[in-house]
Amino acid sequence: MMSNHSIAGLALCATLLGTGLTSAFAADETLRSLAEKNNIYVGAILNSQWFNGGLPGNYEQIHKTQFNIVVAENEMKFDATEPSEGRFSYGNGDKMVKYAKANGMRVRGHALAWHSQVPNWVNNYKNDKQKLLKVLKNHIENVVGHWKGQIDEWDVVNEAISNNEPQWRSYSVWYQGIGPEFIDSAFVWTHAVDPDAELCYNDYNLEQGINSKAKAGFLLEQVKRWVANGIPIHCVGSQTHVEDTTTDKHFIGSPDSLRSLAKELAKLNVKLKITELDIGFKSGINVSKSDLERQGQTFRQYLDIVLEEPNVDTYLIWGVSDRWSWLGGLNRQQGLIYDESLNPKPAFDSILVRLQTYEPPQDTAGKDSTKKDSTANDSTDAIKTFANMSSLSMHLSDRTLFITGATDAKVEVFDMQGRPVFSAKNVKGSVNLKVADGLYVVRIRDGSKSLMQRISIK
Ligand code: G3I
């Protein structure tokens, strides 16, 4: 009889077929195994359809094979957990927590205080501040209490900042009825119930700059105040719903902006998490192969922040397959890493390759100490000399790759989508790499020894 492990292995091979990676990289490596190797969390939501068995079997197989963190798309929101006053509904949330436990996944709770998906009965109290405070406190105490010790991190407050002038969002029953102190209160109440949970403020458009006119700039001022006042906030969730406009190649927002936010938060000892990533194209346009490849590059650039910034640990995508995605409602399409038939897209390849090739600094260990990589910036023009346990090493000068420790090596070069672009056999001391300018992964094999490293050629 075939073991569970072998069955999972076969399923995984099937997952990787259809990517350009089957021949280039070991088939037993998944986003999940590589995330764990890199000491980070890579995940995707469980779509609402999963909760009532409305998804094909390979959806769950892919989900648990590829991801090590999970969040419910809608099932832990206020309207789902307290549909009528004082009557709590935990069935779907329990189902996800059980699934996460069975598969060794971290769990995010989303979301406690949010202006959206609030049941109608709450609005009955919109002019009664004391009652609304009681409603929110009671909700938090029950919901957080129910899952105490089982939910690792909560989005305590979601989307409380306005999109226009940076200020608090005014059309929120919590803001209108209570005032901005609903935010501070929600953090304090949540912490009192589950002191071990990480507590986040979560919002979108945070990748659009940290100046005082941008949402993230406004947020930073609030985080400073919360930290100074002892409000228990441990993380900022950047939803990161990004659009690739394709026509003018213009992205609103950028990974660089988000990285700046991470660095500012690090000074306050607060983490950043990417919590709802998708990179959609406008609905109705034809999405070409090169558009999908550029999309993959953008997914990789956001992943770089998670790998390289010591206070960033989570890369969570708001969906698995383009077939089940909320993006249509935003007039966007194809923003995820699996296509409509659950085949991995170039974005999947891009993430896999980056996770595979990331080399943390040699003199430190562990995500929390540092993830700074001197080869990480695209502007790097030569790799550092690197030797692994098998004593193979490589050094690049212009386009000449010098190899030591090899007697008869095979050299292969892959682009960042994992496609082979160059190879040479019987290499002894050096080889001239005939490739265009760009970022690549080099693999050297010599008998049982092998070495893999990212290079940049300019
Ligand atoms: O609950 C009803 C159900 O009774 C009815 O049968 C069904 C028919 O369409 O609708 C159900 O409600 C829908 C709900 O999802 C659950 O499926 C709502 O119409 C629909 O608007 C709602 O959309 C969700 C949206 O949040 C609401 O704001 C999306 O699925 C969900 O992906 C999206 O997630 C948000 C994050 O929570 C916060 N950040 C932005 C992100 C994307 O908008």
For the chain, which domains are there? 29-357 (3.20.20.80), 374-457 (2.60.40.3080)
Per-residue pLDDT, 407: 84
User: Ligand 1 in contact with 117 (CB < 6 A)?
Assistant: yes
User: Is the CB of 201 inside a 6 Å radius of any atom of ligand 1?
Assistant: no
CA distance 172 to 170: 6
pLDDT at residue 21 greater than cutoff 60: no
- Number of C-beta neighbours around residue 398 at 10 A: 11
Decide whether any atom of ligand 1 lies within 6 Å of the 83 Cβ: no
Report how far Cα 286 is from the mean position of its chain's Cα atoms: 26
Reduced to 3 states (helix: H, G, I; strand: E, B; else coil), residue 40 is coil
Q: Is 105 helix (H, G, I), strand (E, B) or coil?
A: coil
Of 4-8, 121-125, 442-446, the range with the lowest mean pLDDT is 4-8
Cβ neighbours of residue 361 under 8 Å, at least 6 residues apart?
370, 371, 372, 373, 374
pLDDT exceeding 90 applies to what percent of the chain? 71
Q: How confident is the model at residue 417 (pLDDT cuts 50, 70, 90)?
A: low
* Residue 418 reports pLDDT greater than 70: no
At residue 122, the 3 state secondary structure works out as helix
pLDDT of 88 above 60: yes
pLDDT band at 393 (very low <50, low <70, confident <90, very high): confident
Q: Torsion angle, CA of 298/302/305/311, rounded to 10 degrees? A: 180
Please report which confidence band the pLDDT of residue 450 belongs to, taking 50, 70 and 90 as the band edges: confident
Least confident residue range of 43-52, 93-102, 209-218, 358-367? 358-367
Lowest mean pLDDT among 105-114, 142-151, 159-168, 340-349: 159-168
Angle of CA points 24, 30, 31, to nearest 5°: 110
Interatomic CA distance for residues 241 and 437, integer angstroms: 31
Q: Mean pLDDT lowest for which of 74-83, 161-170, 174-183?
A: 161-170
Nearest to 183 by CA among 219, 150, 146: 219
Coarse DSSP helix, strand, coil percentages of the chain, rounded to the nearest 5 percent: 35, 25, 40
Q: Is 366 helix (H, G, I), strand (E, B) or coil?
A: coil
The answer to whether 350 touches 298, Cβ cutoff 8 Å, is: no
| Choice among 73, 75, 153, 159 that is catalytic | 159
∠237-240-243 over CA atoms, to 5°? Answer: 170
CB-CB contact of 244 with 278 (8 Å):
no
Residue 454, strand partner residues: 441
Percent residues over pLDDT 70 in the chain: 86
Q: What angle do CA 224, 228, 234 make, to 5 degrees?
A: 65
pLDDT of amino acid 8:
31
- Report the first-to-last Cα separation within the chain, whole angstroms: 53
Residue 79 has pLDDT above 70, yes or no: yes
Write down the pLDDT at residue 394. 81
Instruction: Read off the pLDDT of each residue in 394-422 and give the average, rounded to a whole number.
Output: 83
Q: Is 245 a residue whose pLDDT tops 90? A: no
Q: What is the pLDDT of residue 444?
A: 86
Q: State yes or no: is 181 an active-site residue.
A: no
Active site residue 207: no
In short, whether 278's Cβ falls inside 6 Å of ligand 1 is no
Peptide bond into 111 cis (omega under 30): yes
Q: Which of 153, 276, 308, 412 is catalytic?
A: 276
**What digits encode the pLDDT tens for the residues 269-296?**
999 999 999 999 999 999 999 999 999 9
Rounded to the nearest whole angstrom, what is the distance from the C-alpha of residue 74 to the centroid of ligand 1? 6
How far apart CA 201 and CA 41 sit, in angstroms, is 18
Q: Which two tokens stand for residue 119?
A: 């049941």
Identify the burial level of 233 via C-beta atoms within 10 angstroms of its C-beta, where 0-12 means exposed, 13-18 middle and 19 or more buried. buried
Task: Work out the burial of residue 201: count CB atoms within 10 Å of its CB; fewer than 13 is exposed, 13-18 middle, 19 or more buried.
Answer: buried
Residue 281: how many other CB atoms lie within 10 Å: 22
| Per-residue pLDDT, 12 | 36
Q: According to the model, what pLDDT value does residue 203 have?
A: 98
- In this structure, are residues 413 and 356 in contact, taking their beta carbons and an 8 Å threshold? no
Q: How far is the CA of 150 from the centre of ligand 1 (A)?
A: 24
Residue of 50, 73, 74, 82 to test ligand 1 pocket, by largest number of atoms within 8 Å of CB: 74
| Pair of tokens at residue 287 | 């999405």
Cα gap 70→50, rounded to integer Å: 13
Most distant CA atoms of the chain, gap in Å: 80
Tokens 């957080």 sit at which residue? 144
* CA-closest residue to ligand 1 atom 15: 74
**Ligand 1, atom 7: nearest CA belongs to which residue?**
48
The pLDDT of residue 251 is 61
Least confident of 13-17, 42-46, 124-128, 333-337: 13-17
In this model, does residue 77 exceed pLDDT 90?
yes
Mean pLDDT of the chain: 87
Are the CB atoms for 173 and 128 separated by under 8 Å?
A: no
